[in-house]
Chain A
């Protein structure tokens, strides 16, 4: 049985050049080095016609087919003798002109300037997309207030639960730790100026105005916003959104509205809760590290931190609720139709969410400083 490896032998007589193809052709033992073979071929006097003979061919596989196809590409005419029909059939199959179904032309790769232009157009398109998404959302809300929006109350309640009570543990943990960390940092510094009691103002002010709203929004972007993007993205993959559309149901009313409403309601409430927990964490550390009583801490905080700070924090959280819900739903709705695309949608929901939260925060701070609040 042919265990010897593949062999090619030239055999020349007056009429024709014969290439004897022999031995075992097994692709797992490596393919024939065609470049080397081609050199050998070119060192011979110019050949226009080769007869391939396979009378001592052993077991074979597609490595042989691959060789024959390459051979045909550099010799004008090749004829075959004693080849198993399978070899020739496979060769034909590989050389067949693709039928019309697969005959799609390949787009040429664009040049650098072209790519630059295309990416600018693409970004502009995305901005337009985002704006029209906004518009659709607003219309959907209008329908909601008119009582015409088609959504399931059960869905809404589920999202309300998921974004509210179900998020309490993580919000509790993070805001407690934030409050404690700020108190630690502040207490040590202020104590050096004998002003330890003002740690209450510091924690209260920072929590009320900045930290509670921002940290809660970031937590919710990672937890709920990413979840929305993944849910809507996989619906896109399963063509569920198309199915809704063809049934005449607005995907905005049915899918986006309940999610947005839920986050817009829960995020401000969670922020109020985070405020209380954070201030409690600050008080906990203050009574422990420096000589301040619970009562003193509370009174000092109320005296020095005005109500307007809490109101600004609350207003921020209302804005952040919209931002987180909008980015989550937007990234999910524009997701592509593959597993990778859903992953990308989820990531960009979180990244875009956090970027927008921090930029909105800076803008609000800037405006409120200008207004002197």
Chain B
């Protein structure tokens, strides 16, 4: 994204993304309802919850892959779902997305994967594209792997390549679905740090689905907690603050890895 050194637009506390009364369904099956939360510019927003509670589903509704049954998602106050398809696709070009399994296209080399959005949405020449692609690969620590296929690199490298593709168009918002799932703790931490540095210097807002407690507390500046049983969100806020103040046993148990006894209620 283009960013300015002038203080005029970099008002830090601006709301960037607003989720309004969102209801998620697959056909008749209700996944989540009554979701309401706000994400500020430059937030690293964590979507938490147990497996199968609908985190990936919520993410897909936020970046425009699935249409909500009810409610809306607003970016800078502009509704995503009340747009014509074409306008919506323009908005979606400003998103960078890294899917749960990497989703690096296996018949293309890493360089071709990253060049794809640039070829589709910009008028840059071949040389310019390859210069940008190399830079993006350098940024994620994959310099020299331009001509490799996804089947020839390790899981951690695949996630990095997916990250490089996500930032190819310098997006305003980056969406991550379990970026560190399946990585060893060290690689997971390296990836977290990479995400943190990139978002800090690119001025991006980040929405991330993760189970990793370490990541949640280390990088999350805001969060929402989804629950599978009540099919709605339990709470939203800074995860560190939630850990200290939340009275909800389900949230506490999740944040403390199950190590939580409900305080005895006085009768």
Which residues of A are interface residues toward B (Cβ below 8 A)?
A: 1-2, 24, 26-28, 30-31, 54, 57-63, 65-66, 69, 84-87, 89-90, 93-96, 98-99, 101-102, 106, 336-341
Q: How far, in angstroms, from A247 to B125 measured CA to CA in the complex?
A: 53
Residue of A1, A84, A94, A101 touching B8 (CB-CB under 8 A): A1
Q: Quick check: B141 and A62 within 8 Å, CB to CB? A: no
Q: Is B242 close to A, CB under 8 A?
A: no
Known contacts A66-B132, A338-B151: does B141 contact A59 (CB below 8 Å)?
no
Give the 10 A-B CB pairs with smallest separation, nearest first.
A86-B201, A94-B138, A338-B106, A89-B201, A59-B2, A31-B128, A338-B151, A340-B107, A98-B141, A59-B4
**Does B160 lie within 8 Å of A102, measured CB to CB?**
yes
- CB pair A85–B128 under 8 Å, yes or no, is no
In the assembled complex, which residues on chain A have CB atoms less than 8 Å from the CB atom of B190?
99, 101
- Chosen A-B contacts, 27 in total, with CB atoms closer than 8 Å, are A1-B6, A2-B6, A27-B122, A27-B128, A27-B132, A28-B123, A30-B128, A31-B124, A31-B131, A54-B5, A58-B5, A61-B2, A62-B136, A69-B135, A90-B198, A90-B201, A93-B138, A93-B197, A93-B198, A93-B201, A94-B138, A98-B142, A101-B190, A102-B145, A102-B160, A338-B106, A340-B107
Chain A residues within an 8 Å CB radius of B6: 1-2
Rounded to whole Å, the gap between the CB of B144 and the closest CB of chain A is 6
- The residue of chain B having its C-beta at the shortest distance from the C-beta of A25 within the complex is B2
A306 to B21, CA, bound (A): 81
**Are B135's CB and A65's CB within 8 A?**
yes
Among B144, B187, B203, contact of A86 (Cβ-Cβ < 8 Å): B203
CA distance A63 to B128 in the complex (A): 9
With A31-B124, A93-B198, A96-B141 known as contacts, the answer to whether A61 contacts B4 (CB < 8 A) is: no
Give how many B residues have a beta carbon under 8 Å from the other chain's beta carbons: 43
Expressed in whole angstroms, the Cα–Cα distance for A63 and B132 within the complex equals 7
Complex alpha-carbon distance, A84 and B200, angstroms: 11
Known contacts A27-B124, A65-B135, A101-B187, A336 near B151 by CB under 8 Å: yes
Say yes or no: A62-B2 contact (C-beta < 8 A), given A86-B201, A338-B150: no
CB-CB < 8 A to B91: which residues of A? none
Query: Given A85-B201, A89-B201, A99-B141, do A60 and B131 touch, yes or no (CB 8 Å)?
Result: no
Distance from B127 Cβ to chain A, minimum over Cβ atoms (Å): 8
Contact A60 B8 (CB under 8 A): no
Interface assignment of B116: CB less than 8 Å from any CB of chain A: no
Interface residues of B in 219-254 (CB under 8 A from A): none
Residue of B with least CB distance to A106: B144
- Which B residues, 153 to 171, have Cβ-Cβ distances below 8 Å to chain A? 154, 156-157, 160, 170
Told that A1-B4, A90-B198 touch, could you supply 12 new A-B pairs with CB distance under 8 A? A28-B123, A30-B125, A69-B138, A98-B141, A98-B142, A101-B157, A101-B187, A102-B141, A102-B145, A102-B156, A339-B106, A340-B106
- Does B143 lie at the interface of the complex (its beta carbon under 8 Å from any beta carbon of A)? yes
Chain B interface (Cβ within 8 Å of chain A)?
A: 1-6, 8, 106-107, 122-125, 128, 131-132, 135-136, 138-139, 141-145, 149-151, 154, 156-157, 160, 170, 186-187, 190, 194, 197-198, 200-203
B105: nearest chain-A partner, CB-CB: A339
Q: Is the CB of B106 within 8 A of A90?
A: no
Q: With A2-B4, A102-B160, A340-B107 in contact, is A86–B200 under 8 Å at CB?
A: yes
Quote the shortest CB–CB distance from A87 to chain B (angstroms).
7
Chain B proximity of A221: nearest CB distance (Å): 25
A102 to B2, CA, bound (A): 30
Docked CA distance A96–B187 (Å): 16
Name the A residues within 8 Å of B135 (CB-CB).
62, 65-66, 69, 94
Q: Residues of B contacting A24 with CB < 8 Å?
A: 2
Find chain A residues with CB under 8 A from B138 CB. 69, 93-95
Q: Give the CA-CA distance A93 to B123 in the complex, in Å.
A: 27
Q: Chain B residues with Cβ under 8 A from A54's Cβ? A: 5
Residue of A nearest to B149 (CB): A338
Q: Which of B124, B150, B154 touches A28 (beta carbons < 8 Å)?
A: B124
Bound-complex Cα distance A85 to B5 (A): 10
Q: B3, B128, B131, B143: which contacts A98 (Cβ < 8 A)?
A: B143
Asked if B151 and A337 sit within 8 Å, CB to CB, the answer is yes
B188 → A minimal CB distance (Å): 11
Please give me the residue from chain A that is nearest to B194 by CB atom. Answer: A93
B107: chain A residues within 8 A (beta carbon) = 338-340
A336 to B143: give the CA distance in the assembly, Å: 26
| Closest chain B residue, CB of each to CB of A84 | B5
CA distance A93 to B196 in the complex (A): 12
Q: Which residue of B lies closest to A95 (CB)?
A: B138
Closest to A58 in B: B4
Q: Which of A1, A2, A30, A101 has the most CB of B within 10 A?
A: A101
Contacts of A99 in B (CB 8 A): 141, 190
- Nearest CB of chain B from residue A274's CB, rounded to whole Å: 38
Q: Cβ of A98: which chain B residues have Cβ within 8 Å of it?
A: 141-143
Contacts A69-B135, A86-B200, A96-B141 hold; do A61 and B151 have CB atoms under 8 A apart? no
